């Protein structure tokens, strides 16, 4: 089975009344992948998750899990488990009873259940809480119980529906690292849904950015961050400078664009636009470098720093670009550099590989 | 709120409490008075009325009879009422408003009218007056109370609870039995106690649908016709203490389980 994907989503669509939730989504997920579906609310990420879990049926298309068509299977028949956004722990059952719920229903015998319970509870460091009720646990502990309960029946695919949303910021970072390491240790396939781009970048092997029921871009976190295919992806993930100009042509590997009379060179991850077409390019804030004289780089503009924002580990500087109608570029630099730039005219420069020409 | 207002509100409250409790206290006191005539002054005290009541076979039998009717009608109300609640809650279908209205109706029809209607209906169906008819009438009257209480509780059950159960391998029936039903227990218990008390307390339906054996309220009514006696005060006091105790226990239990089941 190693050659065929664990999950094969084949052209699924779903409407709720007049609202289109998913439009002809096709996607393969390999065994052991940590895939994140990222997008704003209503983009179709949760619908996809619910279709994989069996809580919704697609209007068209099929879902193949491990070679078997599960499109019409109810949730209880699928070898898929889910960590719910609100954890959905059963309040009248202890931690132990919550985790063994699925094992009991599978018809596992008492010793089998006890063994599996010990295994999963020690793995997730829940041994001390077995006899507590969910109401007696902290947010982080509940999250781990929800994870333990979903992992206990050893599912082929684990669905996670924004499970970190309820945690405070500090705990969230810790849990993100934990989740990633749990996924590595168990070699499970994780299907993670979130609207938090930072969360997606930290944990995923692969991110699928969704918008209006369609896939905007599908790639590794680095690809999405540095080579966004569309304006939506560039804006949704991280902070970026968007430069609106005109397409001039292709020079070797580089796409040439005109921006306020200046010639800039970038690359086009989503295909080369037609000549003369209005285009938008994205340059990440940390890709801008500052120089006192014109450097030997494909892209260099002159301007004056008008604003500095100290952010602790770095500084954001705003550059008012000369010979434009007041265009500004924003850059991240370290604090010393930020101060050293001064208030005189400086050159800001970047490589053609750092500028992605976007699909609108 | 200033001090004057608070004192005024407190005075009104205590006046209300007096208004409610003085008749009850008078009734209780008279049950201990060593005289056949109800009224002050009380010159000597006695427990004779109580010993009389507890050795009166008819009173004891009637008490038991009322309890059996209350329990049976409550069981029926709870099953039917929960059933309707599960059917109606969180679902949209054509005619839901009408279905809901019909469900609530038995609680709104004036007692005397529903009693007469039941009487006519029972005769038409060939049901003899007696325990069966009373249980039936009480059960029908009490169903809306169960449904409303259970629906209120059901509406607070997160959808993800059932989805989680299904996700972990439970079919819809197992999910209902193992997740929904335990969640409803406080509501069902509360509604049961309410039904028990309603049935135990009911006079009109029991009077119209009763056969030769009276329920406790009907018996008290019959005794009253032959004159007020402190024995009635004793019966009433016992009934009062029992119902109050059950009510308070149920209230505390419901509050405790509600607290425990908070997520």
Per residue in A65-123, pLDDT (tens digit) is: 999 999 999 999 999 999 999 999 999 999 999 999 999 999 999 999 999 999 999 99
Facing residue for B161 by CB, picked from A55, A81, A88: A88
CA pair distance A163, A48, nearest whole angstrom: 16
Give how far Cα B99 sits from Cα of B75, B105, B144, B145, B156, Å. Answer: 22, 10, 12, 15, 21
Please state the domain extents for chain B.
48-260
| A88 with B260: Cβ contact below 8 A | no
CB pairs under 8 A between A and B: 74
Give how far Cα A105 sits from Cα of A81, A82, A148, Å. Answer: 14, 16, 16
CA pair distance A95, A128, nearest whole angstrom: 10
The Cα of B165 is separated from the nearest Cα of chain A by a number of Å equal to 8
The correct CATH number of A7-226 out of 3.40.50.10470, 3.40.50.1110, 3.40.50.300, 3.90.180.10 is 3.40.50.300
User: Regarding the domain delimited by B48-260, which CATH topology (the fold level of the hierarchy) does it fall under?
Assistant: MetI-like fold (1.10.3720)
Closest residue, chain B, to A150 (C-alpha): B168
CA pair distance B16, A212, nearest whole angstrom: 61
Is B158 an interface residue toward A (CB < 8 Å)? yes
For A273, phi then psi, to 5°, come to -75, 165
Facing residue for A74 by CB, picked from B158, B166, B182: B166
Facing residue for B167 by CB, picked from A81, A85, A90: A81
| A55 with B163: Cβ contact below 8 A | yes
Query: Chain B contacts of A80, Cβ < 8 Å?
Result: 167
Question: Does the pLDDT at position B57 exceed 60?
Answer: yes
Two structure tokens written together for A138? 């902290």
- Give residue B259's pLDDT: 63
Give how far Cα A331 sits from Cα of A250, A311, B63, Å. Answer: 27, 12, 86
Cβ count near A136 (within 10 Å): 13
- Give residue A174's pLDDT: 85
| B167 with A82: Cβ contact below 8 A | yes
CA pair distance B231, B115, nearest whole angstrom: 28
Two structure tokens written together for A96? 């132990």
Question: Does the pLDDT at position B230 exceed 90?
Answer: no
Residues A5, A27 contacting (CB under 8 angstroms) = no
B46 pLDDT band, cuts 50/70/90, is confident
Question: Does the pLDDT at position B35 exceed 80?
Answer: no
- Give residue A188's pLDDT: 93
* Average pLDDT of span A302-312: 91
* Average pLDDT of span B149-169: 94
Q: What is the three-class DSSP state of A223?
A: helix
Query: Chain A contacts of B165, Cβ < 8 Å?
Result: 90, 101
Give how far Cα B95 sits from Cα of A14, B90, B98, B99, B237, Å. Answer: 28, 14, 5, 6, 47
Two structure tokens written together for B127? 């049901």
Facing residue for A135 by CB, picked from B167, B182, B260: B260
Distance in Å from the first CA to the final CA of chain B: 35
- Give residue B260's pLDDT: 60
Q: What angle is formed at CA A213 by the lines to CA A208 and CA A216, rounded to 5 degrees?
A: 40
Give how far Cα A308 sits from Cα of A95, A302, A330, Å. Answer: 51, 17, 10
* Tokens 């989504």, located at residue: A25
Question: Of the given ranges (A42-56, A345-359, B209-223, B248-262), which has the lowest mean pLDDT?
Answer: B248-262
| A88 with B169: Cβ contact below 8 A | no
Q: Pairing mode, if any, of strands A345-350 and A289-291? A: antiparallel
Question: Does the pLDDT at position A257 exceed 90?
Answer: yes
Digit-coded pLDDT (tens) for A217-251? 999 999 999 999 899 999 999 889 999 999 998 88
Query: Chain B contacts of A52, Cβ < 8 Å?
Result: none
Question: Does the pLDDT at position A64 exceed 70?
Answer: yes
Is A92 an interface residue toward B (CB < 8 Å)? yes
Question: Does the pLDDT at position B220 exceed 60?
Answer: yes
| B167 with A133: Cβ contact below 8 A | no
| B163 with A76: Cβ contact below 8 A | no
User: In the 3-class helix/strand/coil scheme, how is chain B assigned residue by residue?
Assistant: CCHHHHHHHHHHHHHHHHHHHHHHHHHHHHCCECCCCCCCCCCCECCHHHHHHHHCHHHHHHHHHHHHHHHHHHHHHHHHHHHHHHHHCCCCCCCHHHHHHHHHHHHHCCHHHHHHHHHHHHHHHCCCCCHHHHHHHHHHHHHHHHHHHHHHHHCCCCHHHHHHHHHCCCCHHHHHHHHHHHHHHHHHHHHHHHHHHHHHHCCHHHHHHCCCCCCHHHHHHHHHHCCCCHHHHHHHHHHHHHHHHHHHHHHHHHHHHHHHCCC
- Give residue A351's pLDDT: 92
Which residue has better confidence, A312 or B76? B76
Facing residue for A76 by CB, picked from B160, B169, B260: B169
* Average pLDDT of span B3-30: 90
Is A143 an interface residue toward B (CB < 8 Å)? no
Question: Does the pLDDT at position B262 exceed 60?
Answer: no
Is B160 an interface residue toward A (CB < 8 Å)? yes
CA pair distance A124, A99, nearest whole angstrom: 12
Is A84 an interface residue toward B (CB < 8 Å)? yes
Is B169 an interface residue toward A (CB < 8 Å)? yes
The DSSP code for A87 is: -
Question: Does the pLDDT at position B4 exceed 70?
Answer: yes
Q: Which stretches of chain A are DSSP H helices?
A: 45-53, 95-105, 110-123, 139-151, 169-186, 197-203, 221-226, 231-236, 335-340
- Give residue B159's pLDDT: 92
ipTM given for this complex? 0.84
Longest dimension (CA), chain A: 77
Query: Chain A contacts of B170, Cβ < 8 Å?
Result: 76, 101, 105
In this structure, chain B runs to a length of: 263
- Give residue A36's pLDDT: 96
Which residue has better confidence, A168 or A244? A244
Closest residue, chain A, to B173 (C-alpha): A76
A1 pLDDT band, cuts 50/70/90, is very low
- Give residue A4's pLDDT: 81
- Give residue A276's pLDDT: 85
Query: Chain A contacts of B174, Cβ < 8 Å?
Result: 105
The mean of the pLDDT values for chain A is 91
Look at domain A241-358 and name its CATH class: mainly beta
Cβ count near A151 (within 10 Å): 22
* Average pLDDT of span A256-266: 92
CA pair distance A183, B167, nearest whole angstrom: 20
Query: Chain A contacts of B262, Cβ < 8 Å?
Result: 91, 135
Cβ-Cβ contacts under 8 Å for A270 (sequence gap 6 or more): A217, A229, A230, A358, A359
A284 pLDDT band, cuts 50/70/90, is very high
Digit-coded pLDDT (tens) for B114-145? 999 999 998 899 888 889 999 999 999 999 99
Is B260 an interface residue toward A (CB < 8 Å)? yes
* Average pLDDT of span B168-197: 93
The DSSP code for A272 is: P
Please state the domain extents for chain A.
7-226, 241-358
CA pair distance B235, B50, nearest whole angstrom: 8
Digit-coded pLDDT (tens) for A150-162? 999 999 999 999 9
Tell me which of A57, A87, A92 to substitute to probe the interface with B (most B C-beta atoms closer than 10 Å).
A92
Question: Does the pLDDT at position A359 exceed 80?
Answer: no
Q: Pairing mode, if any, of strands A80-83 and A157-161? A: parallel
Query: Chain A contacts of B158, Cβ < 8 Å?
Result: 86, 88
Among A80, A169, A78, A83, smallest CA distance to A124 is for A83
Question: Does the pLDDT at position B263 exceed 60?
Answer: no
CA pair distance A359, A232, nearest whole angstrom: 9
């Amino acid at each position: 089975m190693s050659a065929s994907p664990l999950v094969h989503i084949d052209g699924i669509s779903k409407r709720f009344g007049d609202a289109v939730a998913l439009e002809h989504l096709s996607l393969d997920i390999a065994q052991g992948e940590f895939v994140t579906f990222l997008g704003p609310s209503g983009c179709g990420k949760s619908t996809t998750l619910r279709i994989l879990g069996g809580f919704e049926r697609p209007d068209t298309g099929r879902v193949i899990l491990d070679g078997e068509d599960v499109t019409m299977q109810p949730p209880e028949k699928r070898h898929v488990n889910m960590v719910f956004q609100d954890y959905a722990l059963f309040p009248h059952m202890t931690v132990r009873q919550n985790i063994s719920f699925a094992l009991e229903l599978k018809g596992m015998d008492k010793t089998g259940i006890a063994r599996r319970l010990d295994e999963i509870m020690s793995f997730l460091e829940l041994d001390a809480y077995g006899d507590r009720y969910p109401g007696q646990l902290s947010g982080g502990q509940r999250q781990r119980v929800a994870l333990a309960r979903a992992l206990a029946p050893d599912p082929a695919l684990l669905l996670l529906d924004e499970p970190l949303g309820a945690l405070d910021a500090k705990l969230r970072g810790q849990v993100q690292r934990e989740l990633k390491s749990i996924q590595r240790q168990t070699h499970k396939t994780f299907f993670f849904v979130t609207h938090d781009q930072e969360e997606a970048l930290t944990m995923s092997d692969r991110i699928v950015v969704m918008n209006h029921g369609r896939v905007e871009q599908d790639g590794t976190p680095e690809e999405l961050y540095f080579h966004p295919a569309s304006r939506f992806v560039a804006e949704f993930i991280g902070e970026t400078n968007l430069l609106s100009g005109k397409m001039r042509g292709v020079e070797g590997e580089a796409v040439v664009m005109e921006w306020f009379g200046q010639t800039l060179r970038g690359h086009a991850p989503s295909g080369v636009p037609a000549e003369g077409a209005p285009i938008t390019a994205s340059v990440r804030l940390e890709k801008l470098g500052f120089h006192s004289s014109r450097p030997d780089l494909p892209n260099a503009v002159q301007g004056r720093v008008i604003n500095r924002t100290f952010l602790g580990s770095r500084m954001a500087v705003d550059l008012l670009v000369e010979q434009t109608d007041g265009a500004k570029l924003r850059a991240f630099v370290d604090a010393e550099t930020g101060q050293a730039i001064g208030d005189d005219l400086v050159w800001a420069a970047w490589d053609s590989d750092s500028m992605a020409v976007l699909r609108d | 709120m200033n001090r004057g207002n608070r004192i005024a509100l407190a005075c009104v409250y205590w006046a209300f409490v007096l208004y409610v409790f003085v008749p009850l206290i008078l009734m209780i006191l008279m049950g201990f008075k060593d005289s056949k005539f109800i009224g002050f002054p009380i010159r000597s005290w006695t427990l004779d009325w109580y010993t009389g009541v507890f050795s009166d076979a008819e009173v004891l039998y009637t008490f038991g009879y009322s309890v059996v009717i209350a329990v049976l009608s409550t069981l029926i109300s709870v099953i039917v009422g929960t059933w309707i609640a599960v059917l109606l809650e969180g679902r949209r279908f054509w005619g839901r408003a009408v279905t809901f209205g019909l469900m609530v109706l038995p609680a709104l029809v004036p007692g005397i009218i529903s009693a007469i209607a039941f009487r006519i209906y029972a005769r038409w169906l060939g049901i003899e007056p007696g325990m069966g008819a009373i249980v039936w009438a009480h059960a029908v009257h009490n169903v809306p109370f169960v449904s409303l209480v259970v629906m209120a509780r059901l509406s607070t059950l997160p959808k993800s609870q059932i989805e989680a159960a299904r996700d972990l391998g439970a079919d819809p029936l197992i999910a209902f039995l193992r997740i929904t039903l335990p969640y409803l227990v406080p509501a069902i218990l509360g509604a049961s106690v309410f039904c028990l008390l309603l049935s135990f307390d009911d006079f009109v339906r029991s009077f119209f649908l009763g056969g030769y054996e009276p329920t406790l309220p009907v018996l008290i009514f019959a005794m009253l016709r032959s004159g007020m006696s402190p024995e009635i005060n004793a019966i009433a006091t016992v009934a009062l203490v029992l119902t109050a105790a059950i009510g308070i226990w149920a209230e505390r239990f419901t509050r405790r389980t509600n607290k425990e089941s908070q997520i």
